[in-house]
Amino acid sequence: MQTNPFGRTDRAVTRIGFGAWAIGGTWGEVSLADAKATLHAALDAGMTFIDTADVYGDGRSERVIAEVLAERGGDRPFVATKAGRRLSPHVAAGYTGANIETFVDRSLRNLRVDRLDLLQLHCPPTPVFADPEMFVALEGLRAKGKIAHCGVSVETVDEALMAIRQPGVVSVQIIYNLFRVKPAQEFFREATAKGVAVIARVPLASGLLTGKMTAASTFAADDHRSFNRHGEAFDKGETFSGVPFEVALQAVEELRPLVPDGATMAAFALRWILMEQAVTVVIPGAKTPKQARANAAADALAPLPQATMDAAREIYARLIAPQVQHLW
């Protein structure tokens, strides 16, 4: 699989990585055997980047990753985790060096490592991105050898632009997909200029952009696609990319004819993201080995023709932009 340098670090990662939220929790039942087999399949396909967080399944995702990597041995992939969401209440004042260090120590134990490859602040409240003390504290964790690098995960383009003004931030994780194009319009050029790695998350709009959903689709009660459509538990943009379900289904039908012959719609959606040079790695989630392999296959797709890019942009502008462009 093709690789990209990970921003200003000395690491390189495959441009398609693995999003490990669903193998942790909040996506309905995924058995331990399926979770492990899915991650093995992603790594067998050549992926060398994994994104997780301490709260995914309350640490289960991190522990599954540790178990799978122990079983495999050999070269370790780059494992990015996140901290902050264990705070309760989740408020800016909780983002102190001491609290983050406590969370980091737990992630070190879960992942069975001495040092985290990348610690990302996990979509903190906006003021945290402007707090120099938080970033000084992260630098302290780096000096202690507990983290190799620090980055941020953000909800909005404005937060991304604030975050990359802080010294030491090597990466920004942001939602970027066929239904969320603002980062390309207003952020990617700045990230590239500063050598900041960009991690594109929710690339399949929570599965919508695989083209498999219909108005009759249902989801388990413990799947965020049941309980967070309006932001009841966390930012609504994390569920279906914040697009109302019926509108999204119509856009998917209009996108379907653009899928290259022989490709899945999921691979098309991922390849569309990779057309943007500023993206370092795209991190589709998966719950089965088949899904992980299908997502890895996007790496082999040819660049999309300009006419396809233009048609996708028109669908976004007409159907999706009025729903989301002003929000994130």
Ligand X SMILES: NC(=O)c1ccc[n+]([C@@H]2O[C@H](COP(=O)([O-])OP(=O)(O)OC[C@H]3O[C@@H](n4cnc5c(N)ncnc54)[C@H](OP(=O)(O)O)[C@@H]3O)[C@@H](O)[C@H]2O)c1
Positions that interact with ligand X (CB under 6 A): 19-22, 27, 51, 82, 122-123, 153, 173, 201-207, 210, 212, 238, 266, 283-287, 291, 294-295
- DSSP three-state, residue 13: strand
CB of 108 to ligand X, least distance (A): 19
Q: Which long-range contacts (CB under 8 A, 24 or more apart) does 247-250 make?
A: 247/319, 247/320, 247/323, 248/179, 248/205, 248/208, 248/320, 249/208, 249/213, 249/214, 249/215, 250/319
CA 127, CA 125: separation in Å to the nearest integer?
A: 6
CA 120, CA 104: separation in Å to the nearest integer?
A: 10
DSSP 82-110: EESTT-SS--GGG--HHHHHHHHHHHHHH
Mark whether 95 is an active-site residue.
Answer: no
CB of 82 to ligand X, least distance (A): 6
**Residue among 10 and 175 whose Cβ is closer to ligand X:** 175
Residue appearing with tokens 């067998």? 44
**Residue among 90 and 142 whose Cβ is closer to ligand X:** 90
Pick the catalytic residue from 56, 95, 176, 316.
56
CB of 212 to ligand X, least distance (A): 5
The β-bridge partners of 197 are 171
Return phi, psi of residue 150, to 5°.
Answer: -125, 150
CB of 143 to ligand X, least distance (A): 25
**Residue among 143 and 221 whose Cβ is closer to ligand X:** 221
How far out from the chain centre does Cα 263 lie? 22
Catalytic residues: 56
